[in-house]
Amino acid sequence: MNGKIFIIEDEPSIIQLVQYNLEKEGLIVSSATNGNEGLKELKKFKPNLLLLDWMLPDFSGIEICKNIRKDTNFKNLPIIMLTAKGEEEDKIKGLDSGVDDYLTKPFSFNELFARIKAVLRRSDPKLVSDNLEFEDLKLDRNEKRVFRNEKEIKLGPTEFRLLEFFLTNPKRVYSRDQILENVWPNNINVESRTIDVHIRRLRKSINLKDQKELIRTVRSSGYSLI
Ligand code: CA
């Protein structure tokens, strides 16, 4: 999945859980633990969706929501409110104040992710698309197929995951550690040399004769999709 999610939530354990899992899905995540900082950071970060806690140490989620809606740049920003149990009445007020959806704590990540996808599907369908595209490269997540300039390319499973990862955020430079974390999430014994080997294989597969190089090596930083 593509896109940027901002979280305003004062419970670090929730931020941690949500951020870890959203990043694994390919999203870029940033957060704040109070309303004041959240409002400032949010305007710099420009997310595609906001996860907003109901009870914060300084402002309520509703106050923050109203504040955001006053700003013309954010009046359509999708917001999912996170509420504690037993705030039923408040939930209704929440929806009146321009929240797109709400979720009661405790929630599972899968529940949250389903809501995020549903809200983004309405607001920005290309972010939840099963196809990832960049220049003449196309990756179909459902069928696990890759095409360059309409021609199918066969990739090994690791090269497929690598390319999928790069395609979720083109032009962003990733360090070997970030690539390792995202593409080999369960294997702590992978060496950076291994990453280079798979990048080389991926390059060889996707850069056919006379075609433009699409993976850029950034000296002492890592790699990016051009
Ligand atoms: Ca709270």
pTM of the model: 0.64
171 CA distance to ligand 1 middle (Å): 36
Q: CATH number of the domain at 131-225, please?
A: 1.10.10.10
Q: Is the dihedral of CA 95, 61, 38, 111 positive or negative?
A: negative
* CATH 3.40.50.2300 in the chain, residue ranges: 4-127
56 CA distance to ligand 1 middle (Å): 5
27 CA distance to ligand 1 middle (Å): 23
Identify the residue with better confidence: 70 or 130.
Answer: 70
User: Could you give the angle at the alpha carbon of 57 between the alpha carbons of 56 and 60, nearest 5°?
Assistant: 40
54 CA distance to ligand 1 middle (Å): 6
- Between CA 172 and CA 200 the distance in angstroms is 18
Tell me the C-alpha to C-alpha distance, in Å, between residue 113 and each of 51, 66, 92, 142, 210.
Answer: 11, 24, 22, 18, 41
Q: Is the pLDDT of residue 2 over 80?
A: no
Q: CATH number of the domain at 4-127, please?
A: 3.40.50.2300
Residues in the chain, overall count: 226
Q: Which of 7-11, 28-32, 128-132, 190-194 has the lowest mean pLDDT?
A: 128-132
223 CA distance to ligand 1 middle (Å): 38
Q: Is the pLDDT of residue 87 over 70?
A: no
Could you report the per-residue pLDDT of 18-59, keeping only the tens digit for each? Answer: 999 999 888 889 999 999 999 999 999 989 999 999 999 999
Q: Which of 52-66, 86-100, 169-183, 210-224 has the lowest mean pLDDT?
A: 86-100
* CATH 1.10.10.10 in the chain, residue ranges: 131-225
